[in-house]
Amino acid sequence: MRIHLVTIFPEIFDSFLATSLVGKAVESGQVQIRFVDPRDFTSDRHRSTDDTPFGGGGGMVMRPEPVIAALESIEGASHRVLLTPQGTPLSQRILQELQQRGELALVCGRYEGFDERIRHFVDREISLGDFVLNGGEVAAMAVIDGVTRLVPGVLGNASSVETESHSEGLLEYPQYTRPRELRGLQVPDVLVGGDHEAIRRWRRLQMLLRTAERRPDIWRRFVSTDEDRLLLEQAVQGPLRDLAGRSYLALMHHPVHDREGNVITTAITNLDLHDIARSCRTYGMAGYFVVTPLSSQQELARRIAGHWQTGYGATHNPSRGEALALLEVVEDLERAVERVVQREGQAPLLVATTATTRPGQVRLASVAQAAGERPLLLLLGTGWGLTDDVLDAAGLVLSALRGPSDYNHLSVRSAAAILLDRLFGMRD
């Protein structure tokens, strides 16, 4: 592997190229480094490689002639890489591509940046991320380090390259060594049990779970195998079912606001009763409360639910009756909480929803961790939303559901379905 470093500060690399695996690779000749200093291609006595920008502004800009001349002095079919915050974010896939090139030219910028015309003389632009460094030398070191470990023979154990982070588009699994116990923290039993197939499956599952949790951007691009999906289903299905099985939804018809901000009681709707009950049943919820203080509305809700649980309705559409069996009508939120305590043995964590923005709102990902072993009671408002008293009494208030548009008027049954899917939906 040959790497040409176009830099005005070659001395920055002295220690880096003399230590660790990179140093060994350079010493053995597996990786060859050559410095090309743009100063050697200047014509003034000060060997200037920078100048003031056209149009004014602070800082200095690297002049195009010395850098272009430095690049053109490199013989061979080297792949020219400009290291700049505006480039494509560096990834394991890009490192693999660069290593397969066999020869690279890494161009390290300085000052406020490059003259734009330099970009016409390189093959690609690479960035370490969305931040700014004093120069491209640190970025070049990252590329050299990442490429060097991929050169055959540099790493003593070739399998290390195959299983480390990002090698398959996944983060690496957790690693442990002695001692087996440290300040109450134990090494997982599977790693010391001697079952190599069980260890392999455990490590694969940890890679999947860790990537999904920590790097959703990577996870969205990852294509899972049949085994991956089975491992995830086995690992996630139990905990999800357990959480859903102690979770309840309360559709609040009082106290809620009207469009002027007055506290009102809304009327129940047939669609809300049916559709939310079906969503609750689909996602394994423990119960569905309809909260209204009006006796006439309570009776109507019970009559609608009863129609589908007895007589013609039950035989005509038994699945509808199965869903509506989750429904219980209560006069206020306090009674709903009491019913959860009676069934679960402890008070639920109240999780309120709103379409507005207020301080302290949390994302759905925080709900399961906040609940711990407690049951959940998810509060959804009708009308123009839950009152401030209800929101203030909740343990958590969720961030509003939003799409890419400014429109934000979901029906409550649509919002319920989205929230339950994000909380309890199974993912490939």
The neighbour count for residue 427, using CB atoms within 10 Å, is 12
One-letter amino acid identity for 95? L
Opening angle at CA 322, ends 317 and 326, nearest 5: 140
Phi, then psi, of 170 in degrees rounded to 5: -130, 155
pLDDT of residue 62: 94
Q: Which helix (H) or strand (E) holds 200?
A: helix 196-214
**Among candidates 91, 98, 136, which has minimal Cα distance to 118?**
136
Is residue 264 a contact partner of residue 258, using CB atoms and an 8 Å limit? Answer: yes
Q: Which domains does the chain have, with CATH numbers?
A: 2-160 (3.40.1280.10), 181-223 (no CATH), 242-424 (3.40.1280.10)
Q: How far is CA 168 from CA 101, 151, 152, 189, 225, in A?
A: 20, 17, 18, 26, 12
pTM beyond 0.75: the answer is no
Say which DSSP state 55 is in: T
Distance CA 110, CA 37 (A): 13
Distance CA 88, CA 229 (A): 31
Is residue 331 a contact partner of residue 291, using CB atoms and an 8 Å limit? Answer: yes
pLDDT mean by block of 10 residues, the chain; 428 residues: 97 96 96 97 94 91 96 92 94 95 95 91 95 94 97 78 65 92 92 95 91 83 89 75 93 97 97 97 96 97 95 91 97 97 96 93 85 94 96 94 90 96 81
Distance CA 391, CA 355 (A): 12
pLDDT of residue 165: 53
